[in-house]
Structure 1
Amino acid sequence: MKHIAKSWKALLVTAALTLPTMAFAADPGMVKGGMMTDHKGMTLYTFDNDAGGKSACTGKCAENWPPLKATEADKAEGKWSIIKRDDGTMQWAFDGKPLYYFVQDKKPGDMTGDKKMDKWHILQGPKM
């Protein structure tokens, strides 16, 4: 009986560790410390020059601020949406704001792009 109980505990621990990963595999963002991140913990940003659910960050801008790309298979719901960029690629948006990374953020939790040029901002998570 002890062996079965230990096996059951191991199964529960495995499920607890696996399910959150599976749940976020297709989800573009998570709330971490009040800010939105991707499923790897990388900070997501918005750009003040974007308007009407359209990205204004192209060319050299997009090299420094890579878009959070979406695929044809991705499905958006709630405040999440997917926009089509001028180059034909798809990009995630939250509450109508296209989302980006910053090339100088090297590891999860880095926020070096916040308030750059007073136009780039960390995406804040929903208030709980």
Structure 2
Amino acid sequence: MTRFPALALSLALLAAPAFAEVTAVVEKDGILTDANGMTLYTYDEDKDGMSSCYDQCAANWPPLAAGADAAAEGDYGLTDRTDGTKQWTYKQMPLYLWVKDAKPGDMTGDGVNGVWHVAKP
């Protein structure tokens, strides 16, 4: 019985958001993906860690959203979007998904219009 509170505390600490922050981005096979294995992209038009992809652009290239309690760690950071949400960045480049990628491993957005690129660690 005396071990149960310690076990419960250990499990609670493992579930705390601070341990799950960067799991929104996964480095796999030389590319960055979201937690579901969907390829992440960067946009050449983004500057100074800020997104320039809004409206129709963001409809086609959904920003990789970060929770309100997300915290930057190492090369992974956050940028504030004009709608009040936060977006994950990697080395100050905002990260996006591509609506035409249908399943994990698809990389159909790489090279679109010469300005979209697979995000690589």
Per the TM superposition, whether the score is higher than 0.5 is yes
Question: Residues of 2 paired with 1:25 and 1:101: CA distance?
Answer: 20
Matches within 5 A, 1:1-128: 25-26=20-21, 27-125=23-121
- Look up the equivalent residue of 2:120 and give its one-letter code: Q
Does the aligned pair in 1 maintain the 2:68–2:85 contact within 8 Å? no
Q: Which 5+ residue runs of structure 1 have no aligned equivalent? A: 1-18
- Look up the equivalent residue of 1:59 and give its one-letter code: D
Question: Residues of 2 paired with 1:120 and 1:74: CA distance?
Answer: 25
Q: Which 5+ residue runs of structure 2 have no aligned equivalent? A: 1-13
Q: SS state of the match for residue 117, structure 2?
A: strand
Give the 3 Å change call, closer, same or farther, for CA 89–53 of structure 1 in structure 2: same
Does the aligned pair in 2 maintain the 1:81–1:92 contact within 8 Å? yes
Aligned residues: 105
Task: Work out the percentage of aligned pairs sharing the same amino acid.
Answer: 49
Residue 74 of structure 1, CA deviation: 1.4
- Look up the equivalent residue of 1:81 and give its one-letter code: G
TM-score norm. by structure 1 comes to: 0.76
Does the aligned pair in 2 maintain the 1:25–1:39 contact within 8 Å? no
Q: CA RMSD in A?
A: 1.9
Please give the per-residue CA displacement for 1:4-49, whole angstroms capped at 9, x wherever unaligned: xxxxxxxxxxxxxxx9xxxx85322111111111111110000000
- Runs (4+) of structure 1 exceeding 2 A deviation are none
- Look up the equivalent residue of 1:86 and give its one-letter code: T
Question: Residues of 1 paired with 2:87 and 2:26: CA distance?
Answer: 16
Larger radius of gyration, structure 1 or 2? 1
- Look up the equivalent residue of 1:112 and give its one-letter code: T
TM-score norm. by structure 2 comes to: 0.81
Q: SS state of the match for residue 37, structure 1?
A: strand
Q: SS state of the match for residue 113, structure 1?
A: coil
